[in-house]
Amino acid sequence: MTIKRFNPRSARRLMTVAGLMVLLLPCAQVRAQDRPRVAILPFAVSGDPELGPVGAHIPDMLASRLDTRGKFSFSDTAVLGDTFSPEDLGLISSERALALMQRLGADYLVGGALRSRSGSISFETQVYGRDGVPAGDKVLVPVTRPSDALSALEPLADAVALQMTGSPSAPKAAPSPPGARRQSADHGSDAR
């Protein structure tokens, strides 16, 4: 049996690494807590019955795109899916948004609709801020072909991230996403 000698250098290195871990762990926890919590409602779908099942999957797809654009934390949409009533889908009133945000512990709520009219498809989205008040104008993103619906989530995510961060400094965010046009929250409201 060989007895190893105590090496003071190894002990100092080990203590230094352990000390850094103890110091940095609270920083990592604070950063996660500082991230705004975002809840994305299932999208209402109107027009084409074949698009119906897509509305439930849009929150996950949009969350994955938003995750690359800013430092957000997200409500688990799989858990939330069964808790929403039909009036909680799509574009909702500010009062309803505030009630849902309080229930979900969210800083932002994203509601939207996927609409199909006369052969054209578009995403219409509203971001609700901390008081349930819209964080900006509704965002409309037209889709030229049904097969382009997934790629239309990119400019939609750009516009949503821009409204939540309040700054065009978010990665990939642009002041006016290509193919998107803004609609004033006062005009054409579908709030229930």
The band of 180, judged by pLDDT with boundaries at 50, 70 and 90, is low
The band of 78, judged by pLDDT with boundaries at 50, 70 and 90, is low
The pLDDT value recorded for residue 126 is 93
- The 10s digit of each residue's pLDDT in 32-65 is 457 889 989 888 888 877 777 777 788 889 999 9
- Kindly give, in sequence order, each residue whose CB lies less than 8 Å from that of residue 111, ignoring residues fewer than 6 positions away: 41, 43, 89, 90, 91, 92, 97, 125, 126, 128
- The 10s digit of each residue's pLDDT in 113-166 is 998 888 788 999 999 998 888 988 899 999 887 778 888 889 999 899 988 887
* Pairing mode of beta strands 73-74, 138-143: unpaired
Pick the CATH number of 35-183 from 3.40.50.620, 3.40.50.10070, 3.40.50.1220, 3.10.25.10: 3.40.50.10070
The band of 86, judged by pLDDT with boundaries at 50, 70 and 90, is confident
Residue 27: CB atoms within 10 Å: 9
pTM over 0.75? The answer is no
Q: Where are the domains of the chain?
A: 35-183
The pLDDT value recorded for residue 2 is 64
The pLDDT value recorded for residue 112 is 92
Query: If phi over 0 gives left and psi between -120 and 50 gives alpha, with beta otherwise, what is residue 24?
Result: alpha
Task: Report the candidate in 107, 138, 141, 105 with the shortest Cα–Cα distance to residue 121.
Answer: 141
Residue type for position 67? D
